[in-house]
Amino acid sequence: MTLTPDDLPSDLASALAALRAEREARLQAEALIAHLQLMIEKLKREKYGQRSERTARLIEQMELQLDELVTAASEDELAAAVAATESGNARAFTRKRPVRKPWPEDIERERVVIDPPTTCTCCGGARLSKLGEDVTGTLEEIPRRFKLIETVREKFTCRDCGTISQSPAPFHATPRGFIGPTLLATILFDKFGMHAPLNRQSTRFKAEGIDMPVTTLADQVGHGTFALKPVFDLIESHVLAAERLHGDDTTVPILAKGKCATGRIWTYVRDDGPFAGPAPPAAVYYASGDRRGEHPQKHLAGFAGILQCDCYGGFEPLFDPQRKEQPITPAFCFAHARRGFFELADIAKKTRDGKKGKPVSPIALEAVRRLDALFEIERAINGRSADERRALRQEKSKPLLDDMQAWLLRERETLSRSAEVLKPINYMLRRWADFARFLEDGRICLSNNAAERALRGIALGRRNWTFAGSQRGADRAAVILTLIATATARLNDVDPKAWLADVLARIADLPASRLHELLPWEWKHLQEADKPADQQAA
């Protein structure tokens, strides 16, 4: 319990003892805060292991707990300072804080200089010489401001022939120029990037003095999506031209015929960074009303490379050697395979679920250990060329994988048909050639985590926006998600709002031959080239 000045004992010795006890409690809180911060960072960096959505929920819970602890620690620190002052000679408790990162160099700055002293605080003399200065940086917010841009086109009439002449209307991001490109980019990013539904955005606009009904916002979203479709088409072409793709899907509620049906959002990610490929990373999304195999078969009809995915049956026709187009080469995800074993070896989960009497499978535990050894090798070779990765895998990974296959075959012979661990064993052994393909091709990754990361935001955001209003609404979401996901820090490190605003402002006046300049990675290079030399060096 935090002591207040009124709670302090009347005698100094008791007050000091109480302060020491309270300080000990705060030190324990500090240790818990540090532990939570460490666990959160560890979970954020975790690439392999638990299902991404479950991990994300755990991070949210821990961050909420951390928020409560840090807030309480700050209040206690202030209360301790007051208590120390009241006690006379007790040293106030000071909480350790992490080193704050510097503010961005391009942030707007305002310098407020406090009137300096005119006389010496000690002797009263007026002969003062400046020694230096202390600067305190305080981050402040300027409330969002709106401005109405009035574009005036004067009309002139010819005195000779009576014809009226007027300058052509400039391009606007939406018809009649109702909303500017920056504001439209904010609406699109808040809806599809930050998962703020239009009804919540409308409420916020109203609180800020702007009447913007949901119908108006929805109309503008439709116009913005239509204007941005050519950029989506360019990203789609870039992604499907890859040598290797990551593919996955997640559920999305879609309103249909008075009920909410379970649709899917599919993603295909091009990321050549793990094998030092020069092509920029990008992701494309599609929406469908169900999970029938015809959807990925349609998405990848023109693709003929390596597809990293789970063992979903809808992909199987794409791998058929008799396929009319060139067959796609499968490379299955070891992270998916590991989960089957991990669930049988997860001691913590069994304890939480009250299954203390159910023993952990020693075979599953050993399988997890063997798979983790393969992942450890992958972490060391990430970012090297495809040839280097293949050579190191042949040297280090192949003996481990060959030994694991032989071990799984031996263990399977000893198991009954009802053994739970038989399912993950067969999951791998029946597809062993497609799992082991990474040994022969350095472009292949061991997991499909790139696609799972691309879907994580959707899995978290769908709880906010509840459902897509229709199949067209889901398709519209897929277009904007493609743009935002390709731009963001995870892939191309571009500010999505600034990029979308610039694209919306320029796309109509740009000839088709230069549309590629609007792609996030091209746009970023052009922006950096336009910076002054001193900023580029920084």
Give the per-residue SS3 of 446-514.
Answer: CCCHHHHHHHHHHHHHHHHHCCECCHHHHHHHHHHHHHHHHHCCCCCCCCHHHHHHHHHHHHHHCCHHH
Interhelix angle 449-465/471-487, rounded to 10 degrees, is 130
Q: Is 251 left (phi over 0), alpha (psi -120 to 50) or beta?
A: beta
What pLDDT was estimated at residue 534? 55
Per-block average pLDDT, block size 10, for the chain (538 residues)? 53 70 70 70 55 57 59 62 63 59 81 90 89 86 86 92 90 77 94 87 92 86 90 97 96 72 91 95 94 94 94 92 85 95 75 59 93 96 96 97 97 93 96 97 96 87 62 85 90 94 92 94 90 59
CA–CA separation, 64 and 56 (whole Å): 12
Please choose, from the candidates 274, 308, 279, 270, the residue with its C-alpha nearest in 3D space to the C-alpha of residue 443.
274
Q: How many CB atoms lie within 10 A of CB 261?
A: 15
**pLDDT one-digit tens code per residue, 397-419:** 999 999 999 999 999 999 999 99
**pLDDT one-digit tens code per residue, 494-504:** 999 999 999 99
What pLDDT was estimated at residue 479? 93
**Contact call for residues 184 and 177 (beta carbons, < 8 A):** no
**Contact call for residues 480 and 225 (beta carbons, < 8 A):** yes
Q: Token pair for residue 294?
A: 């015809």
Place of tokens 């731009």: 487
**Contact call for residues 220 and 179 (beta carbons, < 8 A):** yes
Domain boundaries, the chain: 5-87, 156-333+448-538
What pLDDT was estimated at residue 253? 79
Percent of the chain with pLDDT over 70: 77
Q: How many CB atoms lie within 10 A of CB 368?
A: 20
Please provide the distance, in angstroms rounded to a whole number, between the alpha carbons at the two ends of the chain: 49
C-alpha dihedral, 458 to 464 to 466 to 467, nearest 10°: -40
**Contact call for residues 286 and 478 (beta carbons, < 8 A):** yes
Phi, psi of 115 (to 5 degrees): -55, 125
Q: Token pair for residue 24?
A: 């000990």
The residues, any chain, with a CB within 8 Å of residue 511's CB and separated by 6 or more, are none
Burial 340-365 (b: 16+ CB within 10 A, else e): bbbbbbbeeebeeeeeeeeeebebbb
Residue 29 CA to its chain's centroid (Å): 30
What pLDDT was estimated at residue 48? 40
**Residues comprising the chain, all counted:** 538
**pLDDT one-digit tens code per residue, 35-75:** 766 776 666 655 444 445 556 556 656 655 665 566 566 65
Give the H/E segment covering residue 267. Answer: strand 259-270
Q: How many CB atoms lie within 10 A of CB 242?
A: 22
Please choose, from the candidates 405, 451, 431, the residue with its C-alpha nearest in 3D space to the C-alpha of residue 307.
451
User: Three-state DSSP class for 156?
Assistant: strand
The overall average pLDDT reported for the chain is 84
What pLDDT was estimated at residue 509? 86
